[in-house]
């Protein structure tokens, strides 16, 4: 469910788009994140040595990571880069918040529908952070971020933030993680899903971080709120929409809606921050006729990534999405 429906009230259509006068003209910065990858992929068939991903015929982590990193690099215009520093493969199931671990047979029974998923479902982030020394690695500048590849019912959030001053990142912040000395994000990626769903996780991370970045700005000064407008919430003033809602969507995930609406998306892509009032008719054809990955790539491609700043906020939004330490607490 989108968290943005309540952010907008309906207004009369506007025929012009205000230009954003920049405070500075500094060139956009490249952000490169050193990433620890943890893969929970237990052996579930001891006789053959088959791991869960192979047994269930799910996706290869190598293919998912490559596709995701390529999409982020391309849609950011080369400004957002990931570097995998280390991969740790875990032959076991992650701990739940009460200490429970699935075993292979119990988990497969859940997937076959003959047993109910274990409750509480949430993974124990603190046990995982301690086991893999994440706070120390971040504090020592050895890593900037961690990815946890997992599976259905593993109990991970799509993204979660820790460190001093951590804030909502599509999940409540990890408390008592100030020893990291700076903010960091742990992404939860499922190898049962595809690259499109990885981009969706990243999109909700972007929504949370940019909402915080522009917190306190109102009206046209809040560029983020302008960016995520869509027809249903802002008739005649649609821009790019959010991760769940394309410019013409009527409901969540409605990326294949055949309806045609006027959108300012090209003005954001070509002219930001010097808007020219460019508007054109868009349909689902513009973002892949309902294809999750294609819509999300289209959305990310429109995120501002140019030099300059206004109100102390860079016109390169990728630096906030990638590195929440740039966000003023």
Q: Residue 10, exposed/middle/buried by CB under 10 A (0-12, 13-18, 19+)? A: exposed
Question: Of 180, 211, 242, which closes a domain?
Answer: 211
Please give the chain's pLDDT, 329 residues, in tens: 433 333 323 333 333 344 455 566 689 999 999 999 999 999 999 999 999 999 999 999 999 999 999 999 999 999 999 999 999 999 999 999 999 999 999 999 999 999 999 999 999 999 999 999 999 999 999 999 999 999 999 999 999 999 999 999 999 999 999 999 999 999 999 999 999 999 999 999 999 999 999 999 999 999 999 999 999 999 999 999 999 999 999 999 999 999 999 999 999 999 999 999 999 999 999 999 999 999 999 999 999 999 999 999 999 999 999 999 999 97
Residue 324 placed within a domain: no
Q: Using CA atoms, how far apart are residues 33 and 80, in angstroms rounded to an integer?
A: 8
pLDDT confidence of residue 71 = 98
The conformation of residue 271, written as its DSSP 8-state character, comes to I
Domain ranges, residue 13: 5-24+217-310
Residues 151 and 236 occupy one common structural domain: no
Total domains in the chain come to 2
Residues 195 and 241 occupy one common structural domain: no
Residue 45 placed within a domain: yes
Residues 123 and 152 occupy one common structural domain: yes
Residues 149 and 167 occupy one common structural domain: yes
pTM of the shown model? 0.92
pLDDT confidence of residue 6 = 33
Residues 188 and 272 occupy one common structural domain: no
């Amino acid at each position: 469910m989108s968290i943005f429906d309540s952010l907008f009230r309906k207004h009369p259509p506007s025929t012009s788009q205000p230009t954003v006068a920049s405070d500075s003209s500094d060139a956009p910065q490249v952000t490169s994140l050193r990433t620890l990858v943890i893969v929970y992929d237990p052996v579930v068939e001891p006789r053959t040595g088959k791991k869960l991903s192979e047994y269930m015929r799910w996706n290869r982590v190598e293919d998912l990571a490559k596709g995701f990193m390529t999409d982020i690099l391309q849609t950011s215009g080369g400004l957002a880069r990931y570097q995998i520093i280390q991969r740790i493969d875990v032959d076991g199931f992650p701990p739940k918040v009460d200490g429970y671990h699935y075993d292979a047979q119990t988990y497969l029974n859940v997937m076959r529908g003959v047993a109910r998923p274990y409750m509480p479902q949430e993974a124990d982030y603190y046990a995982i952070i301690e086991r893999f020394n994440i706070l120390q690695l971040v504090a020592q500048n050895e890593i900037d971020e961690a990815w946890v590849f997992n599976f259905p019912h593993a109990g991970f959030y799509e993204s979660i933030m820790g460190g001093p001053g951590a804030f909502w990142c599509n999940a409540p912040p990890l408390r008592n993680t100030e020893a990291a000395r700076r903010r960091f994000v742990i992404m939860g990626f499922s190898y049962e899903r595809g690259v499109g769903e990885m981009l969706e996780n990243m999109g909700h991370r972007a929504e949370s971080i940019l909402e915080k970045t522009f917190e306190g700005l109102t009206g046209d000064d809040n560029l983020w709120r302008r960016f995520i407008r869509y027809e249903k919430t802002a008739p005649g003033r649609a821009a790019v929409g959010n991760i769940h809602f394309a410019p013409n969507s009527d409901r969540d995930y409605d990326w294949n809606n055949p309806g045609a609406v006027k959108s300012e998306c090209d003005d954001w892509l070509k002219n930001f921050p010097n808007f020219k009032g460019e508007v054109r008719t868009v349909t689902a054809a513009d973002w892949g006729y309902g294809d999750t990955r294609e819509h999300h790539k289209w959305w990310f491609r429109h995120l501002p990534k140019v030099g300059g700043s206004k109100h102390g906020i860079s016109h390169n939004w990728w630096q906030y999405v990638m590195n929440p330490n740039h966000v003023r607490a």
